[in-house]
């Protein structure tokens, strides 16, 4: 139901693996407008030009890794407030604490086998509720 409430929120996905981009898009595009980037530099330019409501950031990216992308976002006062969720295949004990201590707002392990984990993490950071509106 598209109501007269809030506009549909925008989520930027920074991920170099096309299959993972497709999966995230399939899971989230029902609820949000998704903008995809495959590298950090293009993403930073896009985010600065038009700040989204949330960023999903693959930690393992070629050239500029996700930790550096996060650092640059946090150093820019125009975008430092945007929630950033780490997407990473490094699902080992202690990683959650490590990524949160790096400054990520949350952490979702790949492969994403339960889409509710991703949907809930995004919804919690955006508004503390489950997504209600359809973006399509």
Positions touching Mn ion (CB under 5 A) are 16, 58, 60
- Dmax of the chain from CA atoms? 44
Rg of the chain in Å (alpha carbons): 14
Q: Least distance in Å: CB of 95 to Mn ion?
A: 15
∠ CA 126-95-85 to the nearest 5 degrees? 20
| CA distances (Å), origin 118, targets 39, 46, 71, 96, 135 | 21, 23, 22, 14, 17
In the complex with Mn ion, the residue whose CB is nearer, 89 or 117, is 89
Cis peptide before 133 (omega within 30 of 0): no
Q: Least distance in Å: CB of 127 to Mn ion?
A: 28
In the complex with Mn ion, the residue whose CB is nearer, 57 or 123, is 57
In the complex with Mn ion, the residue whose CB is nearer, 9 or 88, is 88
Q: Least distance in Å: CB of 17 to Mn ion?
A: 5
Q: Least distance in Å: CB of 15 to Mn ion?
A: 6
In the complex with Mn ion, the residue whose CB is nearer, 44 or 123, is 44
């Amino acid at each position: 139901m598209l109501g007269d409430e809030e506009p549909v929120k925008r989520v930027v996905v920074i991920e170099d693996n096309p299959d993972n981009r497709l999966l995230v898009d399939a899971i989230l595009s029902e609820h949000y407008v998704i903008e995809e980037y495959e590298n950090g530099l293009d993403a930073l330019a896009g985010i600065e030009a038009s700040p989204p409501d949330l960023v999903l950031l693959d930690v393992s990216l070629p050239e500029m890794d996700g930790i550096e992308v996060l650092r640059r976002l946090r150093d820019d006062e125009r975008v430092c407030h945007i929630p950033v969720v780490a997407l990473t295949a490094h699902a080992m004990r202690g990683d959650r604490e490590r990524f949160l201590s790096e400054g990520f707002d949350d952490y979702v392990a790949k492969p994403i086998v339960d889409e509710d984990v991703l949907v809930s993490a995004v919804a919690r950071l955006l508004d503390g509720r489950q997504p209600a509106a359809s973006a399509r």
